[in-house]
Amino acid sequence: MDSAIKLSIIIPAYNTAALIGRCLESVFDQDLPTDDFEVIVVNDGSMDNTLEVIENFAKDKNNVKVFSQENKRQGAARNLGLRHARGEYIWFIDSDDYIEANCYRKIYEKANSSKLDILSFGSCRINTDTNYREDHFCDSKYDSVVMRGEDALVKRLVPITICHLFHHSFLVDNDLYFREQMVYEDNEFIIKSYYYAQRVSFVRDIFYYYNITTPSTTRSTSSQPIFDLIKATNHTIDFCNSIQVGVQTRCAMSFYAIIAFNCIFDKLKQQGGDVGKEVIRKILPMRKKLVPTMLLSFHLKYCLEAIVLAVSVKLLLTINNMRRC
């Protein structure tokens, strides 16, 4: 780590030639000198001209590092970027999204002055085709409050990975890396991060713009994300079962684990019957740990699903296929 570099921005990129330019422009439309931050872009085996766009953008910038690898999914790309990062704080940004102008100074000064392991900030889901906008930020009573990560879990305050600044040493010291060769790799990562964090805080400002206009690695119509969701749920539950925590923390972790599991149902509606049969086959061995995890979430919908799942995996899928989740 280079103490002179305040921020490392890590951007995995896969087949986003049409959008990554906007992303890169946004990470440079900032209020810190370029000597104070670095941008690490990892081309994850793109089959379009994403790499060409990246290299053209980076050719006159001294603080951009470009790496290429065969397609290993976003987790591996993020890990590669993290291994090469030198900044005091880390921000993972998706290449089809963009960030607020002139936000670096505020988030860095907030994280640094409060000696935070994790800083979370607001985000906005946008669809430029339909002018849809959905803002997400913490309740005003938690704005700038510093707390333990476990307390944030219990209060159900944890957003998605891209809405965070992570202290570099905190990640490395706790061996916090992403699972590779799968999407939804950040489900387990974010729960583990909050479990280990001693100092986290939140600001209500919206600094991240999450694009839902075009397909991305997590918004694909292929069946693979469904099976990756099953893996992600399994890994998260295994982690929760491997640690000793209080009842409230366990319930909160269970809640977050089952959120990912429930995403399977919507994605299944886009698939044929053969995929459903394979999903049943994959879920069956997990049923003994899924049911208690769903009950521990203390969320009415998930508790009802647990009762159905205890009877039949097929019945649970059928019921969810009959309604919108």
- Residue by residue, pLDDT tens for the chain (325 residues) are 666 899 999 999 999 999 999 999 999 999 999 999 999 999 999 999 999 999 999 999 999 999 999 999 999 999 999 999 999 999 999 999 999 999 999 999 999 999 999 999 999 999 878 889 999 988 899 999 999 999 999 999 998 899 999 999 999 999 999 999 988 889 999 999 999 999 999 999 999 999 987 555 544 567 888 999 999 999 999 999 999 999 999 999 999 999 989 989 888 877 766 888 999 999 999 999 999 999 999 999 999 999 999 999 999 999 988 764 4
CATH class of 7-211: alpha beta
Instruction: Please state the domain extents for the chain.
Output: 7-211, 224-321
Pull the structure tokens for residue 229. Answer: 């969701």
pTM: 0.93
What SS3 class is residue 241?
helix
79: alpha, beta or left? (left if phi > 0; alpha if psi -120 to 50): alpha
| Residue 22, C-beta contacts closer than 8 angstroms, at least 6 positions apart | 98
Q: How far apart are CA 194 and CA 116, in angstroms?
A: 12
What are the start-end ranges of the E strands in 17-175?
A: 37-44, 64-69, 89-92, 98-99, 118-127, 132-136, 164-167
